[in-house]
Structure 1
């Protein structure tokens, strides 16, 4: 936690807050001597974040040094076996003889030696969406699209040019899905290509990955095998699934496919000896039961699949394996009670929690498996690279010097703990202004997280509580039913009733917070995005206890939403078939209570949002006007499910703050500039 401020902090100035550098990912060299981070900073116009690579001293003694700089930026750092640093960039290739304007073709793969200039290693028409490097061989795998009928990248480039010349943008779908988050899928479909790092070997197409372009792949340490994800369109949408394919890296021939109608497989990682593939296995939801997730290991010779975490009650993520051949130790992260610790799974099956607090990601294991590097964050701490004892337990990490210091906070962080109406233990984070006391209680804002399978356990740049704390508000960050990190029971108790048990948990945590002497229970507002926006709508139709409500990308009419969202089949499984199972739609759809809304509402939505399409926000705004509810609609024609552009993000914060000031504090409405 940052020190108590002696004056205004960065959170009192939205421009300063949003200009803070953001550390996003780490890469460790094979010999453990170099640690590199991708760091986002504002461009000169303040209209976009541009990523660059920084050298981080693993000992924590030296200041960070910037390695790359370009207008397009560099991201996704990784080290090859010989110590060369790779990255992805949309920059043009300025090497003599290079084709001009290559940058317009999308992201390409670059290599930066420890001394010398970066050189382009691989390009693909339409761009490279992801890549992987072999730990002990000069082999790389990368992902890129191929149009129907294109056998290779050259044919794909010709077909793309033919479409461009004919000014054809149409896409013919023969199976779904058709969209993903903020873009149309197709007509190109992702494939994984394997080649030598030096380009001396012929490129091998290891096969299609399906229609979702995450570019997730892995190479065995010796480069002989490649694993990649494939989205499988079922005979009906409910049977859509994610599979992991293991193929021969030299021929592309499939060796084994991890595929099951009951499970999704993703996140492949090879063991250090190449004998096993580890990946995450998600038990698919049904109408009756929620998701469940575990970590599995597959013997590549026998195909035997072993659940490595049979008694672990939370969902693992971020797999990292020991680089020592024969050592079966695995490290991973998982949400747990408002944190996301690092865990170690020893070869005998013992699972140990390495960290005391915070949320961790981007795990990197030193070559002797004695040290871990990771990004650590918390509700009150922006991401920072840290060093951990890989064999330790319940430890606090050593922070390494890196860009992105947020300085002092304008308040303090505490917790709220109660039991739900069914006896289940509940908790929430509470950020409180420094000046709040029984003599000067703070107004309260309640922020509901998205997901709903998610948790308030890490720093966020988009729903950060501290600019609101700097304005004098306390901010409650509750984890109600369906939140991650509280065991499978937390999902079960809210399953199929989005507006039921989660709503009651939310109200109970709000009640407990309002009972604190440093909180003014007469001045409370609520806001949320995605599922949190749904809950904001549900709250608005269920109670008038809040002075104002903000609904960002919120679901309003579950019937129309289910057929319009990019993941239509998922939500049909959750809520049921509208024709034969209307019960959950009728019990959970906020639109059915539209006439009960009395609370002033701010609706926020982006037109490029395909997960919760903008029609949901527009319909909500129209209904609010129809029933004469004080309402405003902040609309972003070029934003998606999130508000990502820094100039728009500043406007988002300013509008929410001014809206709450007007209705929670009773101040006059101040219209933000430029809108």
Structure 2
């Protein structure tokens, strides 16, 4: 009898605590974890900050506790902890629920608010290692010239219940939220100027009383002065338009210069450029900007003299382009490419402790290792050799070690220390890894063109030749992606706990196998990605512990596209689950939140040739269609049209079908609310049980 695990119960699973981020103190002794736990009512997650020793010993210590939670932890140069929270501010308005910047002193004491912006703080953009200057991201309404004017205009819109947005640029939404009317800005804040004395508070109270007397007859929406006891945010990016929607920023150690990757708008698209901004004067200098090229992911050396960045020529239907790693002087001088023969795409960059190399992460052969890229032209070296993927890598300059989160498909994210010799030591955590059901092994095959295609195969503990397990082919999204890291949303262990073997393949277009492997599926999604999936499914089904007569397929986003394509081209699967899926590519390309990209990487002919909707009449397998109405990357129109055309071609005289449509009116691309994740999995497993295991149809109780 298999040992019970939290994956046997969806209630237990969603209640598992989750480590979401790690930040390292300037002296390298303390790691601060952002940990999410399920709310008492089971409808969301609350986040708190925990401190753990960064050397692998000790025990976790909780730092924050509030009903609104905390996130986005970062350290100032003096070791104070910054975070963003919507917790109540004793000196602010009682009904203000916007997230603000807070500071927890390293010397002890309670956290206090650093900002009181009407629209709140979007996040911490950058901190300086040798200064208490911080740059934060916050949004202002486009006609607001000051933070006071923004507060007044927001109050007026709220009073009149106006939610309308007037756009003059594209796009108008992103993933799961509308863009505007406010526009992101970058503000410099001197947290060292935070006044925290009784005299300062009394002075502000006197000022507030005088202002109240002077403005007794004024409207509540009139501008009010920004609190004198708080350091005034200094706008570094006035009138930004939409150039800072996805800005990436880093400060020099002394906090004097902000290096940022921003967007240069071009019709309905844009390119990324790298600029520097003097944080005292706001003076901006463009370092790198080329037509049809993106400059992204800036990093600054510890001595403040150099920057590293990615340079990527925009892809076209002819093929994908490489992610080039470059370094230059802090003023943009003497730019040069490094690691030119490294056929991997860096997902993060940081300077090593001695500034003589870059520390990078990248997908690699179904894993996500840490690499060292020498600046002197030496060959890249892989620092970690295990089966994990690493994120949130921070460099401890005092020792040269690294602190990071790592995960795999059987171990959720947890903090670790990586020694210079590659030895990995787990750190203490308030969210210990749960026991995983079954086993995980690699599987690979050779595609029809000779390419190696590999993936992970998760097996139930009792799978054997005498009791072969049903197989679930799970296709990843992206498509520029790899099955190499834990996902709380897509959790194959939940299927393993229910007796399924789960195949997680990386077909053509997957990252971590080189540019040529990606190019095999470029501009032809229905060709080699499809045949790769069938080939590796054949290899899995050839095992004696797999029941080839009981197989199903599922996927989300691009995986949903492939699920639809599979449904129209083979009847080998007993059931198919297609989540947030692309159905009619010509329709999708014009309605997604980033239409220019999709229309740029496909030829019109390939978009039509590889569109699943053309094969709806050939579908013979029951489909479970899942879509959220707030999905702006793959708009709900894709799911609605798929459902309509399934009914057109496959409904009986009374309109009934073997297919099902699970619709979430208030969910996005992923379906993130824990109670809805339960509905999702209950419905998926009931659908699979009916068609793969031969069980009676079942309907989750809360679906009515």
Alignment TM class, shorter chain as reference: over 0.9
Displacement after TM superposition at 1:366 (Å): 1.1
> What is the distance in 1 between the residues matched to 2:280 and 2:353?
23
For residue 352 of structure 2, what is the aligned residue in structure 1? 322
Residues 303 and 160 of structure 1, relative CA distance in 2, 3 Å threshold: farther
Instruction: Answer yes or no: is the 8 Å Cα contact 1:317–1:333 preserved in 2.
Output: yes
> What is the distance in 1 between the residues matched to 2:569 and 2:132?
61
> What is the distance in 1 between the residues matched to 2:116 and 2:299?
24
For residue 267 of structure 1, what is the aligned residue in structure 2? 297
For residue 300 of structure 1, what is the aligned residue in structure 2? 330
For residue 248 of structure 2, what is the aligned residue in structure 1? 216
Displacement after TM superposition at 1:38 (Å): 0.5
For residue 118 of structure 2, what is the aligned residue in structure 1? 125
For residue 371 of structure 2, what is the aligned residue in structure 1? 343
Displacement after TM superposition at 1:545 (Å): 0.5
User: Deviations for 1:190-235, whole angstroms, at most 9, x for unmatched residues?
Assistant: 111112112466543211373563453221101110123322220x
> What is the distance in 2 between the residues matched to 1:150 and 1:621?
45
Instruction: Answer yes or no: is the 8 Å Cα contact 2:38–2:46 preserved in 1.
Output: yes
User: Deviations for 1:318-367, whole angstroms, at most 9, x for unmatched residues?
Assistant: 2222355xx33221100000000000122323311011121000111112
1:645 to 673, 677, 681: 673
Displacement after TM superposition at 1:22 (Å): 0.8
For residue 631 of structure 1, what is the aligned residue in structure 2? 659
1:283 to 313, 317, 321: 313
1:418 aligns with 2:440: no
Residues 396 and 18 of structure 1, relative CA distance in 2, 3 Å threshold: farther
1:83 aligns with 2:79: yes
1:172 aligns with 2:162: no
1:163 aligns with 2:157: yes
Larger mean Cα displacement after TM superposition, 468-477 or 215-224? 215-224
> What is the distance in 2 between the residues matched to 1:105 and 1:62?
35
User: Deviations for 1:23-53, whole angstroms, at most 9, x for unmatched residues?
Assistant: 1111111111211110111011111011111
> What is the distance in 1 between the residues matched to 2:324 and 2:701?
48
User: Deviations for 1:398-451, whole angstroms, at most 9, x for unmatched residues?
Assistant: 111213224322200011111111111110100001101111110000000000
Matches within 5 A, 1:215-254: 216-234=248-266, 236-237=267-268, 239-254=269-284
Quote the RMSD (CA, aligned, Å): 1.7
> What is the distance in 1 between the residues matched to 2:567 and 2:637?
19
For residue 222 of structure 2, what is the aligned residue in structure 1? none
> What is the distance in 1 between the residues matched to 2:311 and 2:41?
43
For residue 138 of structure 2, what is the aligned residue in structure 1? 144
Larger mean Cα displacement after TM superposition, 461-470 or 123-132? 123-132
- Segments of 5+ residues of structure 2 without an aligned counterpart are 195-230, 651-656
Instruction: Answer yes or no: is the 8 Å Cα contact 1:22–1:403 preserved in 2.
Output: no
> What is the distance in 1 between the residues matched to 2:515 and 2:162?
48
Instruction: Answer yes or no: is the 8 Å Cα contact 1:277–1:298 preserved in 2.
Output: yes
For residue 582 of structure 2, what is the aligned residue in structure 1? 555
> What is the distance in 2 between the residues matched to 1:537 and 1:595?
12
> What is the distance in 1 between the residues matched to 2:681 and 2:325?
38
For residue 153 of structure 1, what is the aligned residue in structure 2? 147
For residue 404 of structure 2, what is the aligned residue in structure 1? 374
Residues 503 and 494 of structure 1, relative CA distance in 2, 3 Å threshold: same
For residue 213 of structure 2, what is the aligned residue in structure 1? none
For residue 354 of structure 1, what is the aligned residue in structure 2? 383
Instruction: Answer yes or no: is the 8 Å Cα contact 1:556–1:617 preserved in 2.
Output: yes
User: Deviations for 1:289-322, whole angstroms, at most 9, x for unmatched residues?
Assistant: 2142132223233533222221110100222223
> What is the distance in 2 between the residues matched to 1:302 and 1:590?
46
Instruction: Answer yes or no: is the 8 Å Cα contact 1:192–1:217 preserved in 2.
Output: no
For residue 210 of structure 2, what is the aligned residue in structure 1? none
Residues 109 and 285 of structure 1, relative CA distance in 2, 3 Å threshold: farther
Matches within 5 A, 1:520-531: 520-531=547-558
SS, match of residue 123 in structure 1: coil
> What is the distance in 1 between the residues matched to 2:402 and 2:425?
11
2:32 to 36, 49, 69: 36
Displacement after TM superposition at 1:248 (Å): 0.6
> What is the distance in 2 between the residues matched to 1:332 and 1:504?
32
For residue 100 of structure 1, what is the aligned residue in structure 2? 94
1:17 aligns with 2:21: no
Count of aligned positions: 656
Larger mean Cα displacement after TM superposition, 290-299 or 473-482? 290-299
> What is the distance in 1 between the residues matched to 2:270 and 2:79?
40
Larger mean Cα displacement after TM superposition, 585-594 or 469-478? 585-594
> What is the distance in 1 between the residues matched to 2:500 and 2:433?
19
> What is the distance in 2 between the residues matched to 1:387 and 1:562?
43
- Segments of 5+ residues of structure 1 without an aligned counterpart are none
Instruction: Answer yes or no: is the 8 Å Cα contact 1:335–1:484 preserved in 2.
Output: yes
SS, match of residue 236 in structure 2: strand
Residues 209 and 51 of structure 1, relative CA distance in 2, 3 Å threshold: farther
> What is the distance in 2 between the residues matched to 1:658 and 1:283?
46
With the length of structure 1 as denominator, give the TM-score of the two structures.
Answer: 0.94
Instruction: Answer yes or no: is the 8 Å Cα contact 2:32–2:50 preserved in 1.
Output: yes
> What is the distance in 1 between the residues matched to 2:289 and 2:528?
34
2:495 to 463, 468, 480: 468
Displacement after TM superposition at 1:506 (Å): 0.5
Instruction: Answer yes or no: is the 8 Å Cα contact 1:142–1:217 preserved in 2.
Output: no
